[in-house]
Amino acid sequence: MSQAEEEPAGEEPAPEGAARRGPTWVILAVVASALLVCCCSAVIGLAVAWSAGLLTAR
């Protein structure tokens, strides 16, 4: 039997890179959470500086 006879028509074999999709989403989630933490800490830092009067013109 050839490969064409073993597989039903219209179905393609899964690409070899499909097994690596899980780690890709994990990496993207880690990067997104790191950006969120950095942005939140910057906002908190600006709020503390503003409340301490460091951002007002003298």
Count of positions (residues) in the chain: 58
Residue given tokens 């999709």 in the structure block:
21
Per-residue pLDDT tens over the stretch 22-46: 789 999 999 999 999 999 999 999 9
What's the pLDDT score for residue 22? 78
What's the pLDDT score for residue 6? 61
* pLDDT, the chain, mean: 81
Q: How confident is the model at residue 56 (pLDDT cuts 50, 70, 90)?
A: confident
pTM over 0.75: no
Tokens of 3: 């490969």
Residue burial 38-52, b: 16+ Cβ < 10 Å; e: rest:
eeeeeeeeeeeeeee
